[in-house]
Amino acid sequence: MSIFFIIIIGILLFEYVLNCMVSYLNLGALDPKLPEEFIKTFDEEKYIKTQEYTKVNTKYSFLTSTLSLVISLSFIFGGIYNEIDLYVRSIGFNDIIITGLCFFGILTIISDILTIPFSLYKTFVIEERFGFNKMKLSTFFIDKIKGYLLMILMGGPLLYSILYFFENFTEYGWLYVWILLVSFSIIIQPIFNIFIAPLFNKFTPLEEGPLLDKIKAYLAKVNFPVKKLEVMDGSKRSSHSNAYFSGIGSNKRIALFDTLVEQMDDDEIVSIIAHEVGHYKLKHIYTGILLSAIQSGVMFYIMSLFLLNENLFSVFKMDNLSIYASLLFFSMLYAPISMILGVFFSAISRRNEFSADAYSVETAKMPNSMISSLKKLSKENLSNLTPHWLNVFLNYSHPPVLDRLNAIRKLEK
């Protein structure tokens, strides 16, 4: 029994047990008493519904994580990775990179076949039960087809390039791959705005009126030119509400979900936009890109040390060594480092959310509107108001809403 076998199996079991423990603690942290801060926002029925939504999603998460563990162990102990590899090799492609693309393609199809029933249940049973789902079954599968097309047109060439560099540049292949992916993460921003996002949603310019006037006045005040200020038809799929900022340089876009526009008053929407502007003004976007680049560079360098490692391949009962399988197997070996880095990046993200809230309060001068918008978002999205601290520490990219409200209250004073 190799050390790699012990590490990989140990990682899978540890992650599963940890997720189960955190879920259990999170359910135990549900408080039957509505926090005083929300007394005027939630009625008793709505608060009970919020907790029920958390309970149902936790049970669903337990089911899917159990399935994931069983599948992962079955693939390892059953030598299924090797069977797939032998099959794609038997096709007889002269190009090993094409063989690698087929290997990942088959794994993707198998994964999708196994997970689609659960995605359908999540969308058309759980989300439907709590009044969120607005998606038609046809839309679900059309989105799937669009996702496959994007994977083929963009993901295929990208993966081909990654495999090419690792196959042909032994010593510095990791460096070329890193440069490629950092460049791609920057180039994809305008591509997302212009081509990808409109494939899935309709974006319409925010219509003339008091709201647009207030937004323009605020953006001019903080000197933040935006190429597009649009409303997205989020209600086509869900009644969940949100807003997001995308793009860099001169291609910045602010997109408001139509559900958000319906649920919020004008000042609340301006305060939310001010929060999104804060992320950009406070350099959170560029800091995130830089940190992500550093993290991926370290990962690819370490990966280069484990390529074609016979002991690692023996864990998965592989008959042949290959660069493409090395990438997959290393990702499992790298999981503990990935989890630690994930916790680190989540902590930075939570800190940035506090900073963006503060920027909104300081520049828009509407702390009460920011507070009421956060309360409404929590109510309309059935957010858990009392998550366990360990769940927040491990999984939350945003601080719990009560922590954000308390921080804004302090700024008010």
Tokens for 98, please give them.
């094409």
pLDDT (average), residues 229-238 = 88
Residue 239: pLDDT band (50, 70, 90) is confident
Taking 3-state DSSP, the helix, strand and coil percentages for the chain, each rounded to the nearest 5, stand at 75, 5, 20
Active-site residue 276, yes or no?
yes
Active-site residue 357, yes or no?
yes
Which has the minimum average pLDDT: 121-130, 257-266, 383-392? Answer: 257-266
pLDDT (average), residues 96-101 = 95
- The tens digit of pLDDT for each residue in 264-323 reads 999 999 999 999 999 989 999 889 888 899 999 999 999 999 999 999 999 999 999 999
The ranges assigned to domains in the chain are 3-133+281-412, 203-263
Determine contact, residues 16/65, Cβ cutoff 8 Å.
yes
Q: Which one is catalytic: 85, 230, 268, 357?
A: 357
| Dist CA 200 CA 93 (whole Å) | 35
Tokens for 279, please give them.
């992320």
Return the pLDDT at 21: 96
Determine contact, residues 23/390, Cβ cutoff 8 Å.
no
Q: Which one is catalytic: 85, 230, 268, 276?
A: 276
C-alpha gyration radius of the chain: 23
The architecture of the domain spanning 203-263 is 2-Layer Sandwich (3.30)
| Dist CA 199 CA 244 (whole Å) | 17
State the pTM of this model: 0.88
218-246 CB burial, b ≥16 within 10 A, e <16: bbeeeebebebbbbbebbebbbbbebebb
Residue 74's closest CA among 336, 316, 330? 316
Residues in Cβ contact with 356 at an 8 Å cutoff, skipping those fewer than 6 apart: 275, 276, 278, 279, 282, 284
Report the Cα 76 to chain-centroid distance in Å: 27
| Dist CA 279 CA 348 (whole Å) | 12
**Which residues does residue 204 pair with via DSSP β-bridges, in sequence order?**
231
- The tens digit of pLDDT for each residue in 40-82 reads 888 888 999 999 999 999 999 999 999 999 999 999 999 999 9
Q: Is the pLDDT of residue 249 over 80?
A: no
Return the pLDDT at 1: 66
Determine contact, residues 313/73, Cβ cutoff 8 Å.
no
| Dist CA 146 CA 321 (whole Å) | 33
pLDDT (average), residues 327-339 = 91
- The tens digit of pLDDT for each residue in 160-182 reads 999 999 999 978 999 999 999 99
Residue 250: pLDDT band (50, 70, 90) is low
Tokens for 188, please give them.
């994809």
Determine contact, residues 256/243, Cβ cutoff 8 Å.
yes
Determine contact, residues 293/268, Cβ cutoff 8 Å.
no
